Amino acid sequence: MTAAIDEGRLEGRLARLLWLGTLSGCALIGVGLLLLFGMHTPASARAASALMNAGILLLILLPVVRVALMLAVFVRERDRRFATTAAAVLLIIACSLAVGLWTRR
């Protein structure tokens, strides 16, 4: 990284984002489990399932968000090699998602 972006500050922000995202995802899953085991109504089971699904989705999306943010940083710094690598990783993730959705039918 160039001097344009303070590398330590960027890493600190990314680490904080990942930590808060992980904590939030785990909290959603935990609340969903408590709701599932604490109340035995169909409505609470649906709410618990929705909370747990949201937590899992958040945990899955965190690495994708990191790669997207790093792509933006590399483009901003005009670092073509790393920007191309990050874009390729995002393209692979998008293709995997498309194949997964397509074959789910």
Q: What are the pLDDT digits (tens) for 15-73? A: 898 999 999 999 999 999 999 888 878 888 899 999 999 999 999 999 999 999 999 98
pLDDT of the residue at 5:
63
pLDDT of the residue at 4:
56
Q: Quickly list DSSP for the chain.
A: --TTS-HHHHHHHHHHHHHHHHHHHHHHHHHHHHHHHH--SHHHHHHHHHHHHHHHHHHHHHHHHHHHHHHHHHHHTT-HHHHHHHHHHHHHHHHHHHHHHHHT-
Q: Which domain holds residue 92?
A: 7-103
24 falls within a domain: yes
Counted domains in the chain: 1
pLDDT of the residue at 44:
86
62 falls within a domain: yes
58 falls within a domain: yes
1 falls within a domain: no
1, pLDDT greater than 60: no
63 falls within a domain: yes
105, pLDDT greater than 90: no
pLDDT of the residue at 12:
85
79 falls within a domain: yes
